[in-house]
Amino acid sequence: MKFFIDTANLEQIKEAKDLGILDGVTTNPSLMAKEGIQGKDAIMKHYKTICEIVEGDISAEVLSTTYDEMIAEGEELAAIHSNIVVKIPMIKDGVKALKYFSDKGIKTNCTLVFSAGQALLAAKAGATYVSPFLGRLDDISTDGLNLVEEIRLIYDNYMYETQILAASIRNSMHIINCAKIGSDVITSPLAPILSLLKHPLTDNGLAQFIADAKKLG
Ligand code: E4P
Query: Per residue of the chain (217 residues), what is the pLDDT tens digit?
Result: 999 999 999 999 999 999 999 999 999 999 999 999 999 999 999 999 999 999 999 999 999 999 999 999 999 999 999 999 999 999 999 999 999 999 999 999 999 999 999 999 999 999 999 999 999 999 999 999 999 999 999 999 999 999 999 999 999 999 999 999 999 999 999 999 999 999 999 999 999 999 999 999 7
Domain range for 104: 2-214
Positive or negative torsion for Cα 106, 110, 116, 118: negative
Query: How many domains are contained in the chain?
Result: 1
Assessment of whether the complete model's pTM goes beyond 0.85: yes
Q: Whose CA is nearest to atom 1 of ligand 1?
A: 167
φ and ψ at residue 5, rounded to 5 degrees: -100, 140
Adjacent-strand bridge partners of 4? 24, 187
Selected catalytic residue, list 45, 87, 96, 99:
87
- Separation of alpha carbons 165 and 148, rounded Å: 9
The verdict on the CB of residue 131 being under 6 Å from ligand 1 is yes
Look up residue 48 and give its DSSP letter: H
Cβ atoms of 135 and 101 within 8 Å: the answer is no
The verdict on the CB of residue 28 being under 6 Å from ligand 1 is yes
CATH number at residue 144: 3.20.20.70
The verdict on the CB of residue 135 being under 6 Å from ligand 1 is yes
- Separation of alpha carbons 45 and 24, rounded Å: 17
pLDDT the model gives residue 217: 79
